[in-house]
Chains A and B, each alone.
Chain A
Amino acid sequence: MAEAISEQFSAESSDDISIVRRPVHVVRRYPIIPGLIILVLIIFAIFAPLIAPKDPEKNNLRHRNYPPVWQDADMDATEINAGREPGSYFLGADALGRDVFSRIIYGARISLMVAAIAIAAGVTIGSTLGLIAGYFGGVIDEAIMRLLDVNSAIPFILLALMIVIVMGQSLMTLIVVLALSNWSGPARLVRGQALQLKTMDYVHLSRISGGSNTRIIIKHILPGTRNVIVVVGTLEVGSVILAESILSYLGAGVPPPTPAWGSMISDGREYLLVGSAWWITVFPGIAIFLTVLAFNFLGDWLRDKWDPRLRQL
């Protein structure tokens, strides 16, 4: 993406960008669309009760698998008599007659909250271990690196399923599991960064003037790794939301009836397979897709802006 942008820019000088083309350039240059998507998600998450047209957990069995607004116009008289009114469900209703649109809005709340806490925890733990490993080196470094090896040798989903069984299914468990899924990336990257930074002159000078290890790490090494941490944290959002949706799909994520995108997809599966009520599955899937895409774009943009060396991420 960024290559295309830079090509675009090197190809023509900034003078001859016409008024018509300027908005296009702005959209390509800055992550405006991803930013808008994330903004909408955050608004959804904060103001869910005000925005959602219906209660996301309220069943209405008379409206089971009610079609979305543009498909219910050709409803026949018997159905209208049975209490179904056209246009009452924007994105349709699920098998229990719950409003899919409202559930998606509340789902944004759960997904973002869980992802934010899990990433804050995972990145904090990972970066701390990475700093310690990179700065001290030797046996400590070796031990932490081997821990990372063990972590990557256990298939994540299986580990997650087992932890959920041991701890019981709850939001807390989900956050712990997701934090476990994303500490290794930051750990490796921050360690690499710390290895470089500790050879810098200003670090040596600080040590000569009597700075303690803690002081050097916090005052001199940590600030140098800030960009890496923010970039990797942003890029992790997408993968954490994907992991959360996979666990919810497998029935080990957010406990029901709280709406979560992954479990909504799983709820609609049996109807999809027989060719009815596709909306139960498709819309939450699109929500996950757009969210992950938006955070990935934002992360890519931050990386290219701050630290193009991290390209391989």
Chain B
Amino acid sequence: MTRFLVRRFFFGVLSVIGATFIVFVLSRLAGDPRNLYLGTGMLTPEIWEQWGRDFGLDKPLPVQYWIWFKDAIQLDFGESIQTGHQAIETIKEKVPATLQLAAGAWVFALLVGIPLGVLSATKRSSAFDLIGRTFALFGQALPPFFLGLMLILIFSVNLGWLPTSQRGGWEHYILPMVTLGWLPAAAVLRLVRSSMLETLDSEYIKLARAKGVAEWKVIWKHAFKNAAIPPLTMSALILASFLTGTVVTETVFAWPGLGRLVVTAINNNDFPVMTGAVLVFTVLYVVTVFIVDISYALIDPRIRIK
């Protein structure tokens, strides 16, 4: 088990280094960061040269990366080129908004996915099954930004029930949460459904039924408890995939989170914010995958041996 953990951990660190290196190189290829100050008038030839030395721009790329990396592990990404604030402060400011949105969408995915999954497994070919399938179908084939816009069109523009954008009271959370959570809800639904179908087929369920246990008890107490393990573990991975999803959702709803921040930073080649934010995204993803791996290994010993 220890070997497995060490191995996994090592691979996780490797992924973070690989991913940030690629992002770093891309940001350097996008242009000399000093060019961004050209219009500001604060750039004299002396300052140009000095910054070149400070940032290590005269050195080869791997060395530049190493300079960046040494500071980055201490959470020092440098100053934002656009605002002049510390990039880490800007990122910290935006993280709560994104985490709230992701958590809300996760809850939505579970609240919709689990009941619909169970119902469509236990009442096959019923109305629930049809609703569940339609829901999953739309989740897989609708572009997320289009779904968001349609929700805005129906609930904000036509019905006037909910606000169109920005962060605010609870009513501001509903549409972004649904937009971000729809596809994951469909994924949870499918997992719960297949897991329930498998469990309901097992011997102990037949025994419970033969004993005369009430049907709702068979489903929720005997079957669901066991069937819920794979979807719940998977739902952590789903949470990780939200991190990418927030970029689109935040753009549609003008949500002041990390996703929008990073899109703006990329468009302005604000490399301290950009590389910092990507590092945050990558670390969050890798940590989540690591946790999922461990929990799988704890539940299923076969994985450890492999």
Interface residues of A (CB under 8 A from B): 1, 4, 7, 146-147, 149-150, 152-159, 161-163, 165-166, 238, 242, 245-246, 249-250, 262, 265-266, 269, 272-275, 278, 281-282, 285, 288-289, 292-293, 296
Name 12 A/B residue pairs within 8 A (Cβ), A-sorted: A149-B11, A150-B22, A153-B285, A154-B22, A155-B243, A157-B244, A158-B262, A158-B281, A161-B263, A162-B30, A162-B266, A285-B143
> In the complex the two chains form, is B15's CB within 8 Å of A166's CB?
no
State whether the Cβ of B233 lies closer than 8 Å to any Cβ in chain A: no
Q: B67: which A residues are within 8 A, CB to CB?
A: none
- A238's partner among B15, B141, B150, B247 (CB-CB below 8 A) is B141
Q: A149: which B residues are within 8 A, CB to CB?
A: 11, 14-15, 18
Q: B140: which A residues are within 8 A, CB to CB?
A: 238, 292-293, 296
State whether the Cβ of B29 lies closer than 8 Å to any Cβ in chain A: yes
CA distance A111 to B262 in the complex (A): 27
Interface of A is mostly: helix
- B143's partner among A150, A165, A262 (CB-CB below 8 A) is A262
CA distance A242 to B124 in the complex (A): 30
State whether the Cβ of B5 lies closer than 8 Å to any Cβ in chain A: no
> In the complex the two chains form, is B266's CB within 8 Å of A155's CB?
no
> In the complex the two chains form, is B143's CB within 8 Å of A158's CB?
no
CA distance A249 to B250 in the complex (A): 13
Q: A265: which B residues are within 8 A, CB to CB?
A: 143, 145-146, 149
> How far, in Å, is B52 (CB) from chain A's closest CB?
21
> In the complex the two chains form, is B263's CB within 8 Å of A288's CB?
no
- A250's partner among B137, B251, B274 (CB-CB below 8 A) is B251
Interface residues of B (CB under 8 A from A): 11, 14-16, 18-19, 22-23, 26-27, 29-30, 124-125, 133, 137-138, 140-146, 149-150, 152-153, 156-158, 164, 243-244, 247-248, 251, 262-263, 266-267, 269, 274, 278, 281-282, 285-286
Q: B143: which A residues are within 8 A, CB to CB?
A: 242, 245-246, 249, 262, 265, 285, 288-289
Interface of B is mostly: helix
CA distance A213 to B302 in the complex (A): 32
> In the complex the two chains form, is B15's CB within 8 Å of A157's CB?
no
> In the complex the two chains form, is B11's CB within 8 Å of A146's CB?
yes
CA distance A155 to B274 in the complex (A): 12
Q: What 9 pairs between A and B have smallest CB-CB spacing?
A: A150-B18, A285-B146, A292-B141, A155-B244, A293-B141, A153-B15, A162-B26, A153-B19, A154-B19
Q: A147: which B residues are within 8 A, CB to CB?
A: 18
CA distance A292 to B278 in the complex (A): 29
> In the complex the two chains form, is B244's CB within 8 Å of A272's CB?
no
The chain A residue with its CB closest to the CB of B274 is A162
Q: B124: which A residues are within 8 A, CB to CB?
A: 7
> How far, in Å, is A44 (CB) from chain B's closest CB?
18
> In the complex the two chains form, is A278's CB within 8 Å of B141's CB?
no
CA distance A204 to B146 in the complex (A): 52
> In the complex the two chains form, is B149's CB within 8 Å of A285's CB?
yes
> In the complex the two chains form, is A285's CB within 8 Å of B16's CB?
no
CA distance A246 to B30 in the complex (A): 22
> In the complex the two chains form, is B149's CB within 8 Å of A158's CB?
no
Q: B263: which A residues are within 8 A, CB to CB?
A: 161, 250
The chain B residue with its CB closest to the CB of A146 is B14
Question: Given A4-B125, A238-B140, A154–B14 Cβ distance below 8 Å?
Answer: no
CA distance A289 to B145 in the complex (A): 12
- A153's partner among B16, B150, B164 (CB-CB below 8 A) is B16
